[in-house]
Structure 1
Amino acid sequence: MIKKSSRLLSCFSQLVPYWRLLRLDKPVGSLLLLWPTLNALWIASNGPPPLSLLLIFVTGTILMRSAGCAINDYADRDFDRFVERTRERPITSGQIAPWQALALAAAIAVLAFLLIASLNALTKWLALIAVLLAASYPLTKRFFAVPQAYLGCAFGFGIPMAFAAVQNQLPPLAWAMLMANIFWSIAYDTEYAMVDREDDRKIGIRTSALTFGQFDVLAIMGCYGLFLLIYAAIGITLAYTLAFWLGLIGAAICAAYHYRLIRTRERSGCFAAFKHNNWLGGLLFAGIAAHYALV
């Protein structure tokens, strides 16, 4: 019995680095992808989507986020060792070989693609674009002044995919929601980048926190404002009821709270604000879901 327990513990300890590589120990990142995808599914379906479609998109979102993290760590393996927050990541610390991370990312991407095998051709083509966006995002940190905008597009590509899966078309509403997600991503990922600002400056990584400089807090709050404004316009256009507006107000209160956390630019406050975006996204989705549940 003791030998079996020790073997199980040994197997588990060997899996821990892969668990960390895929960020399965940090579900906030998956939720930040999931909330806008759920918004799109509910809006495109004019209410709750079919359970099968919901399961496909939830599982696919988690899988693609995990694959994207593995690719990101592979691309940043020579930089992560110089950043306090990332120097113990599995690849840069030598717990996982770079080729293993790539192989795992490829296997997960294939699995995610198999999930949508039963969906229409438009959704499949969009899935290929989503994979390319996720795979190329780490490279944008070498030359693009605001790579967080590219991240917002990659993180939000579940939005047009949801509309394609439900309606087999891409209405202007899908692109408006994607634009809103880009602004939201710039806001929360700039908060995240503020944690590593000095390390990123030393190693030459490009981030919005460095690009915005002394106007970083102003830029973040402006992006929150544009994100909320687009959703307010969507609410007016679709004649949403009080439930939606309460959710939007809750999201706005979260954004205002983030200002309190980041205004001094302390690393702990900026990281707390980044993680708190899960509540912002969750409240907005709750408002959308409640609207359709009550009409």
Structure 2
Amino acid sequence: NGGALVRLLQEGTCKLEEIGSYSEEELHCLLRQCGIPFGAEDSRDQLCFSLLALYESVQNGARARQPPPHLTGGKIYKMCPHQVVCGSKYLVRGESALDHVDLLVSSRHWPPVYVVDMATPVALCADLCYPELTNQMWGRNQGCFSSPTEPPVSVSCPELLDQHYTVDMSEAEHSVQHPVTKTATRRIVHAGTQPSPGDPSAGHHSLALCPELAPYAAILSSFADSKPNSVRQRPIAFDNATHYYLYNRLMDFLTSREIVNRQIHDIVQSCQPGEVVIRDTLYRLGVAQIKTETEEDAEEEEVATAA
């Protein structure tokens, strides 16, 4: 149970730098709390190794099954709900939780909600690799909506509602606070409805626990049959690593551009006279009102009259 180990480390009950000074009784207690089996005949070194092995497994992110020797591990994408690629990572080996943490850390801002199948391993890996950062983002909740030590409950997150925001760009560039939600809170969730029997905290990471995220459940389920996904999932063989990289970068760019162009077209169609499509400081699409010369002259006359 990696979550139990992370909790013990956060509480200071277990300090790996002092593991060499722990008695066998103390090690037995820690192993029991983490659900690690051990034998009565196990030596003290074996007990320490079992604990360190769990730590290493969580920190490095347990990998999914490895790809065949002649294939790469593919790519992982960080996408917005419209399937525009915000970031990606090429995988040589099988996908791991650490790959997702690398992708998140490379982002300018961690998304308020990151949806991934392996939500629990990703959150725990982040807790061990970046404890100070995750302490600001979710404290000891391990990326969940509520404490994983308590039964899962529905949690309202009004800051996640789709609405118009005023963005304060005077905030520090590397602030943990998200520029849109105005909060440092982040969550790592999955869209599955059936908790994994081998993951005691899987239910706490469920997207269904947040009513504000309900509209996204249908969006996520539609990804599998979408055109961008079919393009990205198409297997292609390359003999040259450079060509493989450039091809995938080009496909990411073209599929994302097609989506954005369609969005711009839809907005232009709905624009009224005097309105134009703009991008704000966060590159989001919006509509701005253009003042005509007649309106500006009228305002100047009003100012002159008032004076």
TM bucket, shorter chain: under 0.3
Work out which of the two has the higher radius of gyration on C-alpha atoms and give 1 or 2.
Answer: 2
TM-score by length of 2: 0.26
- The answer to which structure has the higher strand fraction is 2
RCO greater where, 1 or 2, for CA within 8 Å and sep 6 or more?
1
